[in-house]
Amino acid sequence: MINYKKITEDTYWIGGSDRRLSRFENIFPIENGVSYNSYAIIDEKTAIFDTADISISDQYLENLKGVLGEKKPDYLVINHMEPDHCSQIATVVAMYPEITLVGNAKTFTFLSQFFPELNEQRKITVAEGDTLELGKHTLSFVMAPMVHWPEAMFTFDTATGALFSADAFGTFGAIDAGIFADEYDFEKKFLDDARRYYANIVGKYGMQVQAVLKKAAGLDIRMICPLHGPVWRENIAWFIDKYQKWSTYTPEDEDILVIYGSLYGHTESAAQKAAAMIREKSGKSVSVYDVSQTHVSVLTSEVWRCGKIVLFCPTYNNGIYTPMENFLSDCIALTVQNRTFALAQNGTWAPASGKLMTEKLQCLKNVKIVEPMLTIKSALHETDEQELEAFVNAVVEA
């Protein structure tokens, strides 16, 4: 059934939500689903902004036809060529052969890789600052390379102040009845998913996000229309501030993170005890995770939130316990910065995971490693209380 929504003057959301997909990019669990947003401006000329993922193509095409009625769209603006947004381009062109595709030079390189059959389609190639008149609305193009692919760009509607921001300002999570962020308790419903989306999708590209935020600061933005998640029309500064923090690798709060790995429970028991002591001595909120149980995208998202991270890790065949190694590799891949780590290693004959974790963490920018490290020989006992206390004190004071 047609289900598009007017979001402002002549501007419509024509996307849809998928609650069946279990993993986004076949990696990230999305228990709350995900939305794929597309937009349309119906002016003297009609423009569509991106398409949608193939999983919601029926709903998307119904919404598109519904919003257009008898009209034929003039432009399809392609802000992002990733298949979760571009999958329906060939279908749209088949429905409306007169349509002109609008993108930058890279957009069209990628377009011909995904859809060589569209090589002869009418196109307008835009660059930074170019504009396109629709009538009352004038579109202006802002390049956003690597947020999240090299061809990504934003389109700004100078008439309404709507910024079509591609993957930026997006979040995991299906859209329920409301289309606007202010129709939800965003912090409760979306913030954790938004942070996890940021950390794992664009976390690596903090510098590029910073560059585009600087450009965006020069625009009179009254609405942000991302490709995933709700549209922002109120409290925009609050969400931009989150992006400022996330993209500069600045911890969001003072909470302390304890992540442990454990085969048989001994390292786990030590981590639990230490977490309780850290909580008591610091007065701060402490979150504890089992690295084998919690998806690594949740752990990296928590690293984005917290400034201080305590790792408890067994030695495993002379190496780092593999789930912990995987987590650390993800931290390196996502270029985690500006964090304090404290390390506890376990080993029954030759504990080595502490040194090996230190080597990995030294790949990260501006990371402090708390001294002393805690070494557990198989299990922690009451006789080790002094050593544990010294470790906890060092964590709290760091």
Ligand X SMILES: Cc1cc2nc3c(=O)[nH]c(=O)nc-3n(C[C@H](O)[C@H](O)[C@H](O)COP(=O)(O)O)c2cc1C
Q: Which of residues 173-192 bind ligand X (CB under 6 A)?
A: none
Classify 9 as helix, strand or coil: coil
Span interacting with Fe ion, options 9-17, 164-172, 290-298, 365-373, rule CB under 5 A? 164-172
The CA-based angle 139-145-150, given to 5 degrees, is 115
Rounded CA-CA distance 88/59 in Å is 12
Contact mark string toward ligand X, 292..321, x via CB under 6 A: ----------------------xxxxx---
Binding to Fe ion by residue 196, rule CB under 5 A? no
Binding to Fe ion by residue 84, rule CB under 5 A? yes
Nearer to Fe ion by Cβ, of 11 and 87: the residue is 87
How many residues lie near Fe ion (CB under 5 A)?
5
Minimal distance, residue 267 CB to ligand X, in Å: 3
Q: Which of residues 323-362 bind Fe ion (CB under 5 A)?
A: none
Nearer to ligand X by Cβ, of 176 and 384: the residue is 384
* DSSP H or E run through 165: none
Dihedral, CA of residue 148, residue 305, residue 196 and residue 278, to nearest 10: 150
Binding partner of residue 348 among ligand X, Fe ion, none, CB cut-off 5 to 8 Å per kind: ligand X
Residues 6+ apart with CB under 8 A from 167: 80, 82, 147, 148, 152, 201, 202, 226, 227, 228
Tokens of 147: 């947020």
Binding to ligand X by residue 322, rule CB under 6 A? no
Minimal distance, residue 388 CB to ligand X, in Å: 15
Minimal distance, residue 392 CB to ligand X, in Å: 19
The CA-based angle 25-29-35, given to 5 degrees, is 65
Classify 306 as helix, strand or coil: strand
Cα 22 vs. chain centroid, distance in angstroms? 17
Q: Which of residues 128-157 bind Fe ion (CB under 5 A)?
A: 148
Dihedral, CA of residue 367, residue 370, residue 372 and residue 373, to nearest 10: -60
Binding to Fe ion by residue 82, rule CB under 5 A? yes
Minimal distance, residue 355 CB to ligand X, in Å: 12
Residue written as tokens 């390379």? 145
| DSSP state string for 233-261 | SSSHHHHHHHHHHHHTT--SEEEEEEEE-
Binding to ligand X by residue 386, rule CB under 6 A? no
Minimal distance, residue 146 CB to ligand X, in Å: 40
C-alpha closest to that of 321 among 263, 380, 257:
263
Span interacting with Fe ion, options 5-13, 162-170, 260-268, 318-326, rule CB under 5 A? 162-170
Classify 373 as helix, strand or coil: coil
C-alpha closest to that of 256 among 331, 308, 301:
308
Minimal distance, residue 81 CB to Fe ion, in Å: 9
Span interacting with ligand X, options 98-106, 197-205, 242-250, 342-350, rule CB under 6 A? 342-350
Pairing outcome for strands 138-143 and 131-133: antiparallel
C-alpha closest to that of 84 among 141, 142, 17, 156:
17
How many residues lie near ligand X (CB under 6 A)?
19
From candidates 69, 177, 349, 382, binder to ligand X by CB under 6 A = 349
Check: CB of residue 11 under 8 Å from CB of residue 163.
no
Binding partner of residue 155 among Fe ion, ligand X, none, CB cut-off 5 to 8 Å per kind: none
Nearer to ligand X by Cβ, of 203 and 261: the residue is 261
Q: Which of residues 238-267 bind ligand X (CB under 6 A)?
A: 262-267
Minimal distance, residue 271 CB to ligand X, in Å: 9
Binding partner of residue 101 among Fe ion, ligand X, none, CB cut-off 5 to 8 Å per kind: none
Rounded CA-CA distance 337/332 in Å is 9
Minimal distance, residue 259 CB to ligand X, in Å: 13
Tokens of 267: 């390292």
From candidates 26, 214, 350, 362, binder to ligand X by CB under 6 A = 350
Q: Rule CB under 6 A: which residues touch ligand X?
A: 262-268, 314-318, 346-351, 378
Q: Rule CB under 5 A: which residues touch Fe ion?
A: 82, 84, 148, 167, 227
